[in-house]
Chain A
Amino acid sequence: MAQNLVGASETNQTGATNAGAETPDQPFGGLQPSRLIPGFGETPDTAVSPLADIPGLLVDEPAPDNPTVFEVGALNVFYGEFRAVRDVTMSVREREITSFIGPSGCGKSTVLRCFNRMNDLVAGARVEGKLEYFGVDLYSERVNPVEVRRRIGMVFQKPNPFPKSIFDNVAYGPKIAGTKKKSDLEDIVERSLRQAALWDEVKDRLNSSALGMSGGQQQRLCIARAMAVDPEVILMDEPCSALDPIATARIEDLMRQLKDDYTILIVTHNMQQAARVSDATAFFSTEESAAGDRRSGVLVEFDRTDKIFSVPSDERTENYITGRFG
């Protein structure tokens, strides 16, 4: 993997540490974006371009036929008068995990909520700019937000199972989407719970309340619930922030499996997590807006994850991921 290649060269040069070990001192699995890489900073591209030129070497590089799912151009989000996010431009590829990182309040959740029009539900929120989903403008008058949300599911920071049985939680989405037959619903529930790696734990108590589950189980239930409607994209806003490391690891495993079928966008404050699971990473930060004193969020850098975490091209990214900022 490109990460390992770059990381290995780095550790060789510093001669200090064991690549891949994760200790608090080495937040990125041994990958330390560092000026120690010769030439990094002045001509950042030279560090990777020789590798990138060898076809098939960078396995994280998307295959050329991996189509673009979301095309975002000059996206601005306002809460009333306040411009929370300014001029975001990026494109999200299919069957990849794209992570959003950045300091608190820089607009990660705000941008994420644009992708399934959840911002419509926030009083005073307004979205300007381009956001195309497979070439369709998501904010066009003719687009039905309910249908958008059915295709683009969302998992929230705090597990939010409904006060219903485990079965009914997962069956809720398919039911409102029109699946009526009990046997069909049973199939969907089993499939989704299996996908969410929860089936074995709950198959004997599908009819007990979801609120009696542990936090990690509830979060996996919410993932199962989101997948039961067979979405095309899953948005996750800090899905592991309330979970212990074991539950977090399970959900990360889950995301890697889901990647085969789904496009995933995830907001996380855990940079190791972003480095571990995602293919592309967007680093957001805040910037004094020209108009006023409130700070609006900007997309500082958007690139392949390995690049962001090894040879970021923006100094602010580097400062952030090395812990020198926020």
Chain B
Amino acid sequence: MTDIASTSDSLLSAGGSHARADRIFRLGALASGLVVLIILGLIVVSTSIDAWPAFSELGTDYFFGTTWSPSEGLFGILPLVFGTIVVSAIATVLAVPVSVGIALFVTEVSTKRVGSAVNLTVDLLAAVPSVVFGLWGFYQLVPVFQPVLNSIAGLVSGIPVLRSIFGQSSGVGFMTAGTVLALMITPIVTSVSREVFMTVPHNDRLGALALGATRWEMITGVVLPHSSAGLTGAVLLGLGRAMGETVAVALLIGASPHISANLFGRGEAMPSQIFRSLSEASGTFRASLFGLGVCLFFITVLINMVARRVVAVADRRLKGA
């Protein structure tokens, strides 16, 4: 009798303290979530307040103007938006095949030991500070890159469209910044792709191989289709990183805000312009720089939303709802 009573007592009290712990945990989680949200909101609001003069004074000239020339009082952000998009696109186009290739090698081909060596190397790449990439790019890569880019430009100089895309290079520019940026986003794209490939069911791989697929056919037939949603996520994550990257791009893009087809030429990106000019800017110029920050934020949010949508659709297609 006493036994039963004490057992049920302890059951009750345990249940009580568990329930309390559960409640505390939930409140804690909610609170930290709210804190993050509030901080995010404050950042957006305060930056927008600082940017407001530019938005209200310049209006459409700000958002759709094609000349960014602070000395003339012209603050059209399109050249900077263009630079950011071009540089990030170059970086993504270069980084994604390499990253996916490394991830496939590690998950599908290499032995465990070689695989972890490769992983370690890639992870080390992620540990290199952005400014070091910028300095290395500027002092080591540019001298090597310039003649290469110019000889490519020479090769296509007779071909109408290519001629204007691959023009003369002064060493720094979209392509140089994009290439270094590609190196910088390779670790994140690689590790996300790796995770994605590791979620492909082993049985699906065996299924393909049992049908007489070579390893490559197994990869294209099973692993990649299975990973389309996840890889989209990886690509857009890399793109997002590339768009926000500041210091290295500032050093390598050429600080020349203009819209041009020449990928080898100079340009300017949004974060680099903020980084370069903020200390000396005032008035409308300063507000315009804050405005760049706000725009960059919304572009990144937009990309994220598109990414989520793409992933969700691909996922649904995969599950065959």
Interface residue ranges, A against B (CB under 8 Å):
116, 118, 121, 123, 146-147, 149-151, 153-154, 156, 158, 160-164, 172-173, 176-177, 208-212, 222, 225-226, 229
Q: How far is the CA of A63 from the CA of B126 in the complex (A)?
A: 68
Residue numbers in B under 8 Å from A212 (CB-CB): 319-321
**Are B206 and A163 in contact, CB atoms less than 8 angstroms apart?**
no
**Are A176 and B217 in contact, CB atoms less than 8 angstroms apart?**
yes
Q: How far is the CA of A222 from the CA of B211 in the complex (A)?
A: 10
B175 vs chain A, min Cβ distance (A): 37
Q: How far is the CA of A121 from the CA of B211 in the complex (A)?
A: 14
**Are A176 and B320 in contact, CB atoms less than 8 angstroms apart?**
no
- Closest residue of chain A to B316 (Cβ to Cβ) is A209
**Are B207 and A156 in contact, CB atoms less than 8 angstroms apart?**
yes
**Are A149 and B209 in contact, CB atoms less than 8 angstroms apart?**
yes
Decide if B26 is an interface residue (CB 8 Å cutoff): no
**Are A153 and B210 in contact, CB atoms less than 8 angstroms apart?**
yes
Partner pick for A225 among B112, B203, B211, B225, CB 8 A cutoff:
B211
Given contacts A160-B204, A162-B222, A222-B207, contact A229 B318 (CB under 8 A): no
Residue numbers in A under 8 Å from B209 (CB-CB): 118, 121, 149
- 21 pairs, CB–CB < 8 Å, chain A vs chain B: A121-B209, A149-B212, A150-B211, A150-B212, A151-B212, A153-B210, A153-B211, A156-B203, A156-B207, A156-B210, A162-B221, A162-B222, A162-B226, A163-B225, A163-B319, A163-B320, A172-B211, A172-B213, A173-B211, A209-B320, A226-B211
**Are A160 and B201 in contact, CB atoms less than 8 angstroms apart?**
yes
A154 vs chain B, min Cβ distance (A): 4
Residue numbers in B under 8 Å from A154 (CB-CB): 206, 210
Residue numbers in B under 8 Å from A162 (CB-CB): 204, 207-208, 221-222, 225-226
**Are A176 and B318 in contact, CB atoms less than 8 angstroms apart?**
no
Given contacts A208-B320, A209-B319, contact A118 B210 (CB under 8 A): yes
- Closest residue of chain A to B227 (Cβ to Cβ) is A163
Q: How far is the CA of A164 from the CA of B208 in the complex (A)?
A: 12
**Are A147 and B212 in contact, CB atoms less than 8 angstroms apart?**
yes
Residue numbers in B under 8 Å from A226 (CB-CB): 210-211
Report the 7 A-B pairs with minimum CB-CB distance, sorted nearest first: A209-B320, A150-B212, A212-B320, A154-B210, A160-B203, A173-B211, A211-B320
Q: How far is the CA of A149 from the CA of B217 in the complex (A)?
A: 14
Q: How far is the CA of A153 from the CA of B212 in the complex (A)?
A: 8
A11 vs chain B, min Cβ distance (A): 42
A229 vs chain B, min Cβ distance (A): 6
**Are A160 and B206 in contact, CB atoms less than 8 angstroms apart?**
yes
**Are A176 and B212 in contact, CB atoms less than 8 angstroms apart?**
yes
- Closest residue of chain B to A172 (Cβ to Cβ) is B221
- Closest residue of chain B to A154 (Cβ to Cβ) is B210
Q: How far is the CA of A212 from the CA of B319 in the complex (A)?
A: 7
List 12 additional contacts besides A163-B319, A172-B213; criterion CB under 8 Å: A118-B206, A118-B209, A123-B112, A150-B212, A156-B206, A161-B207, A163-B225, A173-B211, A208-B320, A211-B318, A212-B320, A226-B211
**Are B320 and A172 in contact, CB atoms less than 8 angstroms apart?**
no
**Are A229 and B212 in contact, CB atoms less than 8 angstroms apart?**
yes
**Are B221 and A176 in contact, CB atoms less than 8 angstroms apart?**
yes
- Closest residue of chain B to A122 (Cβ to Cβ) is B206
A193 vs chain B, min Cβ distance (A): 16
Partner pick for B318 among A149, A172, A208, A209, CB 8 A cutoff:
A209
Q: How far is the CA of A222 from the CA of B226 in the complex (A)?
A: 17
Residue numbers in A under 8 Å from B320 (CB-CB): 163, 208-212
B225 vs chain A, min Cβ distance (A): 6
Residue numbers in B under 8 Å from A225 (CB-CB): 207, 211
B116 vs chain A, min Cβ distance (A): 14
Decide if B214 is an interface residue (CB 8 Å cutoff): yes
Q: How far is the CA of A227 from the CA of B217 in the complex (A)?
A: 18
Residue numbers in B under 8 Å from A177 (CB-CB): 212
Give per-residue flags for B217-258: 1 if the beta carbon is below 8 A from chain A beta carbons, else 0.
Answer: 100011001100000000000000000000000000000000
**Are B225 and A116 in contact, CB atoms less than 8 angstroms apart?**
no
